[in-house]
Amino acid sequence: MRDVLKDMLAPAGSVAELGKVAVLMGGDSAERPVSLMSGSGVLKALQSQGVNAHAFDPAEQPLAALKEQGFDRCFIALHGRHGEDGTVQGALELLGIPYTGSGVMASALAMDKVTTKRVWLSENLPTPRWQRLGAGQHDNDHTRVVPDTLGLPLIVKPAHEGSSFGVTKVCGYSDMQAAVQLAAGFDANVLCEEFIEGDEVTCAVLGEGVSAVALPVIRIQAPDGNYDFEHKYVSEDTRYLCPSGLAPELEAEIQRITVEAYRLLGCRGWGRADIMVRASDNKPYLLEMNTSPGMTGHSLVPIAARAAGISYEALCVGLLRRATLDSQRESAAS
């Protein structure tokens, strides 16, 4: 596997061929601070390899300026709405500027956790049981009955956010209303999800279609099992185990369902699935797919890449080389 991954990101010509590169970072989503950290890391890595890369914040100047300023391709280091939901990707398609990561449809699908679950369930991929509360369903009459179906504890979160914004672990009926209101502050669609007791893991994928390959699995150990924003991006107390320490057959199964989940959504370039492994039977459950994963000092894809023998700099340049447009994409078998 390591040879495949290294070949996938192997240098192919001079970095001068990449032209003038915009690293899209910041933006206007709730995840702006994380995006700025990711983008700064990517920008430094690309520049260290001689790439003519520049920071570009869509919250500070219009995307049309990319064309006006002569950019040849974009590395998308945006997170959340207007960054990994297909909107920026669609704008870049219209501008004709190749970009990293998934295209318009895959980005939009993966950003919507409810639709993602529907796609996965259609192909019998495991994901926790769930219930959606849409606009007009955030009142106590609707929220108080959710635990009757999903049990307690359960997870409440916005259907279109990341970085643990608006996420609550609900342990009692009396906590449901506040949890739903918190999530609804980020998104009118609220996802209530069965809580899976066990190990939290993540698995990244590089490539596309039949060439997609999973990176080593990372097992996450956060204080008190609370992998929130603080423990993702600020605290030094969270442990990331890679090698994961899981049984080889379990790690292989996690990688298998991750690649299948990635292909089903039509992802390309890279992505990362968040997964819970149920303690009672070691069954993995897919939570969500990230199509613009974090690239901060605490981020998981760089950790997994290093375990596969790929440096942060090589990862950034390799992903940039694979920048493309939907209109340029060669069809790949799913």
Residue 226 annotated to the active site: no
Each residue's pLDDT tens digit, 204-235: 999 999 999 999 999 999 776 654 555 454 55
> Side chain identity at 174, as an amino acid letter?
S
Asked whether the beta carbons of 56 and 71 are under 8 A apart, the reply is: yes
Same domain, 303 and 156: no
When pLDDT is averaged across residues 265-275 and rounded to a whole number, the result is 96
When pLDDT is averaged across residues 83-101 and rounded to a whole number, the result is 96
Give the residue among 95, 82, 23, 29 at the shortest CA–CA distance from 53: 23
Overall number of domains in the chain = 3
Of 102, 163, 292, 299, which one is the catalytic site residue? 163
Of 99, 227, 233, 262, which one is the catalytic site residue? 233
Same domain, 51 and 121: no
Whole-angstrom distance, CA of residue 65 vs CA of residue 63:
5
When pLDDT is averaged across residues 43-62 and rounded to a whole number, the result is 97
Same domain, 149 and 259: no
Q: Is residue 137 situated within a structural domain?
A: yes
Same domain, 155 and 92: no
Same domain, 220 and 294: yes
Q: Is residue 283 situated within a structural domain?
A: yes
Q: Is residue 251 situated within a structural domain?
A: yes
Residue 3, pLDDT above cutoff 90: no
User: For residue 222, what pLDDT is reported?
Assistant: 79
Asked whether the beta carbons of 93 and 104 are under 8 A apart, the reply is: yes
Of 290, 299, 321, 322, which one is the catalytic site residue? 290
User: For residue 328, what pLDDT is reported?
Assistant: 83
Domain boundary (194, 210, 245) is at 194
User: For residue 4, what pLDDT is reported?
Assistant: 61
Domain boundary (194, 210, 232) is at 194
Domain boundary (166, 194, 222) is at 194
Same domain, 176 and 251: no
Higher pLDDT, 330 or 144: 144
Same domain, 259 and 309: yes
Model confidence at 31, in pLDDT bands (50, 70, 90)?
Answer: confident
pTM value?
Answer: 0.91
Residue 282, pLDDT above cutoff 90: yes
Structural domain range at position 243: 109-126+197-327
Whole-angstrom distance, CA of residue 274 vs CA of residue 230:
17
Q: Which percentage of the chain shows pLDDT scores above 70? A: 91
User: For residue 159, what pLDDT is reported?
Assistant: 87
Residue 288 annotated to the active site: yes
When pLDDT is averaged across residues 286-307 and rounded to a whole number, the result is 92
Same domain, 63 and 145: no
Locate 196 and state its tokens.
């899976």
User: For residue 237, what pLDDT is reported?
Assistant: 77
Each residue's pLDDT tens digit, 234-256: 556 789 999 999 999 999 999 99
Residue 14 annotated to the active site: no
State the chain's mean pLDDT as an integer. Answer: 91
Same domain, 80 and 189: no
- The least confident of 50-59, 154-163, 205-214 is 154-163
Of 73, 268, 272, 322, which one is the catalytic site residue? 272
Q: Is residue 28 situated within a structural domain?
A: yes
Model confidence at 308, in pLDDT bands (50, 70, 90)?
Answer: very high
- The least confident of 11-15, 67-71, 276-280 is 11-15
Same domain, 118 and 255: yes
For 280, other C-beta atoms within 10 Å of its C-beta total 8
Q: Is residue 139 situated within a structural domain?
A: yes
How many helices and strands in the chain, by DSSP H and E? 13, 13
Residue 274 annotated to the active site: yes
Higher pLDDT, 64 or 166: 64
When pLDDT is averaged across residues 122-137 and rounded to a whole number, the result is 96
Locate 289 and state its tokens.
């797919």
Q: Is residue 209 situated within a structural domain?
A: yes
| Residue 15 belongs to domain with CATH number | 3.40.50.20
| Residue 150 belongs to domain with CATH number | 3.30.1490.20
Same domain, 314 and 232: yes
Residue 57 annotated to the active site: no
Residue 272 annotated to the active site: yes
Quote the Cα angle for 240-27-330, to 5°.
75
Residue 290 annotated to the active site: yes
Q: Is residue 334 situated within a structural domain?
A: no
Backbone angles phi, psi at 265, to 5 degrees: -80, -10
Of 83, 175, 274, 285, which one is the catalytic site residue? 274
Same domain, 211 and 294: yes
Asked whether the beta carbons of 125 and 257 are under 8 A apart, the reply is: yes
Residue 201, pLDDT above cutoff 80: yes
User: For residue 147, what pLDDT is reported?
Assistant: 97
Residue 143, pLDDT above cutoff 60: yes
Q: Is residue 332 situated within a structural domain?
A: no
Residue 148, pLDDT above cutoff 70: yes
Cα Rg of the chain, angstroms: 19
User: For residue 47, what pLDDT is reported?
Assistant: 97
